[in-house]
Amino acid sequence: MEQVIIMGAGPAGISAALYVKRSGADPLVLDNGIGALEKAEKIENYYGLERPLSGAELYERGLEQARALDIRILKAQVLEIGGFDSFEVITTQGTFETASVILACGNKRLAPKIKGLSDLEGKGVSYCAVCDAFFYRQKAVAVLGNGQFALHEAEYLSHTAGSTMILTDGKEPEFDLPEGIEVLTGKVEEICGPDRVTGVKLQDGEGSREIPVDGLFVAIGTAGSASIARQMGAELTDKGNIKVDDTMQTTIPGLFAAGDCTGGLLQVAKAVHEGAQAGLSAIKYVRSLKA
């Protein structure tokens, strides 16, 4: 079993890994890409930089530093985290058991500009299958997305919903077509319903048509830290960020969060500080289990 698994390889995640490693443990970092740091064209307000760096350059430097300390980094998407006495981290590269988890991959809640989508959030539009599948027992649901995260959400819903389909919104599916789940590749024009979701209007080779559904689950891209926290039942703030205490622990013992996903100042300096604190706190938690 792992001692600490860190979800994210940006400034918060790598900083957490450095402190865990230097504490004598062997963290596992799950890297699902650069994230929001990729949008930073020039960073020049961070301590110790002799010249401005792009977000991509800083990201690569962090990975190189971690590898120099023999920190394990695995390219993988996290699909779900569950468990009771320990955590079970389900990824595209397998399932791992761990005593502690640090969520540090930012917030990746992506919502396309589709007519009716924002108006019907909480009225049939959801962002968490684990949270809301119960409300759609034997009903027709659709999942919006074209990646492994969308497939995972659809497979989870298929156990309770009457019918489940995946809408790729005009994109090619990035997964093997599943049995028992319909995949429609037409462009989504509108989420229909005056007060609650009643259907989805698609544009495809047959023209525009409305498909009746009772619920739509948005699962575009990959699962962000807040999405995973929400799945696990950790408390979020009113703004949708992960609620943490002074040690960066969430409302679930052993689950920590750091970086953009906790809200506040969205800067590298804050991410590094919170990552360091989360790493130290995770090690302290793991050691307390053995006391």
Return the CATH class of domain 2-108+223-290: alpha beta
CATH 3.40.50.150 for domain 118-218: no
Q: What is the pTM of this model?
A: 0.84
Location of each CATH 3.50.50.60 domain in the chain: 2-108+223-290, 118-218
Contact (CB, 8 A) for 198 and 192:
yes
Angle (CA) 44 47 50, round 5°:
60
**Tens digit of each residue's pLDDT, the chain (291 residues):** 999 999 999 999 999 999 999 999 999 999 988 877 877 878 888 888 889 999 999 999 999 999 999 999 999 999 999 987 899 999 999 999 999 999 998 876 566 789 999 899 889 998 888 888 989 999 999 999 999 999 999 999 999 999 999 999 999 999 998 888 999 999 999 999 989 999 999 997 777 899 999 999 998 877 789 889 988 999 999 888 999 999 999 999 999 999 999 998 889 999 999 999 999 999 999 999 987
Check residue 60 and give its pLDDT: 96
